[in-house]
A and B are shown apart, each in its own frame.
Chain A
Amino acid sequence: MSRPRLLGLLAAILCVALAAALLRTSEAALDHQVVRGRLEQPVRVGTGEVVVDQVRVADRLSGDSSVAGRTPGLFVVVRVDAAAPGTEEFRLDEARLLTRGDRIYAPYQATFGLDAPPGFADRADLVFEVDPAGIAGLTLELWQSELVSGYQARVQVPLGITAANAGAWRDAGVRTAVEPDIYGRTRALT
């Protein structure tokens, strides 16, 4: 092989290696942007606004048969309000509860979905069944499912349960029943 051809081949191999390395290093650890919110405070995400509030704990769920039941652990019930104040509809249909460790809780109910048409807000309760020993630092994460996955924003709202008050939360859930509203209610924004 002539010298110029050898140099060209080496350059091509270097380019491929460089491209592969850049691709690898440019991959973000997360495939989404995290928008941090606070309990009872509206947080803007995409075309909508989210408010997370009314955190309740119980060891028994009453009301609708699809969620009614008991747990040896703890039910955490959270109210989520999704509003579409602009011209686009706003949808939130994926949720999970993050802990300080690796454990992640999926919703207890089979379905969850908030869908607010423009000028409306939709709200519903989310229920999680958790281990009472690890409730400090529980954080609710909400986002919108996508058919074609893109780089999306996810809302994370800490539920206000700290190591200092976790015991009080645990005690509050003993022999307590909560009736969650899992189907949601739509209201017009004023």
Chain B
Amino acid sequence: MQKADRFCSIHKLPVFFILILSLIFASCGGESKNNVTEGIKDQILHMGNGTEPQGLDPHVVTGVQEFNIIVALLEGLVAEDPKTLEPIPGAAESWTVSDDLKTYVFKMRKGAKWSNGDPVTAQDFVYSWKRLISPGLAAEYAYQLFYLKNAEKYYKGEIEDFNEVGVKAVDDSTLEVELNYPVPFFLSLLSHHSLFPVHRATIEKFGDIDSRVSKWTLPGNFVGNGPFVLKTWELNKIITVEKNPLYWNADIVRLNGIHFYPTDNEQTEERMFRSGQLHLTSTVPIDKIEVYNEKSPELIRTYPYLGTYYYMFNTLRKPFDDPKVRRALAMSIDRRQIVERITKGGQMPAYAFTPPNTMGYTPEAAIPFDIEGAKKLLAEAGYPEGKGLPECELLYNTLDAHRKIAVAIQQMWKNSVNVNITLVNQDWKVFLDSQRTQNFLISRASWIGDYPDPNTFLDMWVTDGGNNHTGWSNKEYDSLIAKAAQTIGQKKRYEYFQRAEKILTEEVPILPIYTYTKISLIRPEVKGWYPNVLDHHPYQYVYLEK
């Protein structure tokens, strides 16, 4: 064997390899910089923003990620107080409400401009809302306007003339809105992105009023009336916005720009934060929460969020057609263990559906944690010691957090009431399909409130409600929710809700587990980022300071 000889010929290979590697290194040479410190210097906020947004058309998109960007680019009639979420003047300077609470008159702000210099007028809102309920656009959030007189009819094509819909521009600076019935949370609704204005000339330059597929939302095309304007958009990489000098309140805006990163992977996002690429993350991996809480509590922030994590039963199928079985299962899980040992993010155990302190409403009824009582209920239902109960499937969508909770609850039921559950996970779309076709026995679910009012939680469970996949129906409950909708006094309304909630905790079509919290990693230099239940943070009040 001539080893030496052999080596001479192959030794060229590693040389070649080193060459390649150095090429890669060279192609990205330069000085390293850190987004966090650079950002503080330049007042540029770098934030992780979940997934790549579907788009930036306020009438088409549906997600939270999209809202986070759109709210920088557009402003509705009313804006939100950054701390309390109370409606404050936005594109409208002021407003009046009629005595029957059905007519709102908005005075448009004088001198408010679009980012191309055009004035923001009442007609812009009429046009935008017309667009939202144009059947051709097929906006997912069109129903947000169905509170307006004749809006639903217009959407369904029952009336052709938009002038009959309850919104009109009396003149350039006066907008009159007429509702079907009093809607106590109507002003809060106005800060939802689907009711934001769009710039008519821009929409029509790139398509028709009802073009979903349109280029108007691309950088360079986008015209907005918000505190920032769209600067760049690289798919799956970054979206940047910069300060809009024409914004009516530009003086208070201290950030020069925001960089939004689509961070699909929470582990990656956390590493980006740790290495100084982000000021702010959209979430925190469960197992990192403890570490941050212990080692650097100043970097992690947790606050209540208007949402409930729950399981729902298919009440049309055995054995869950029996409320006793449902209630027994709901009574036999240790929610405190789940939030302390599994989710770890400061969530609150939920013993009723509506989160506590939703605009002053805290449910009085509660599902007790009572294993003995649960055993008794099961025996009454004909399954003493869990005997005779068929093995049931618990459905959840594929996500680590859901799996952990399901695994813990599976064991709890086995240990406490001897009920055996099989876990089944499905990918998101299959999961939604199974829910919709009621092809499940127990299914994981969650509900995030659309607006801060108990109604957004409780009106879900009316008979045949669109999101009520449980098949549960209760006449008394339906009538209580209907009554609440027509009641004006907040106290009286809440009484109806309390009674409805009581029925819900007795019948248990759904099994509330915990109330959500919003957890994020945030650099202490980020100021003006106030906790609130909707996790809304108007950027005009945010700034960076050492």
Chain B binds chain A:
no
Show the binding face of B for A, using Cβ within 8 Å.
none
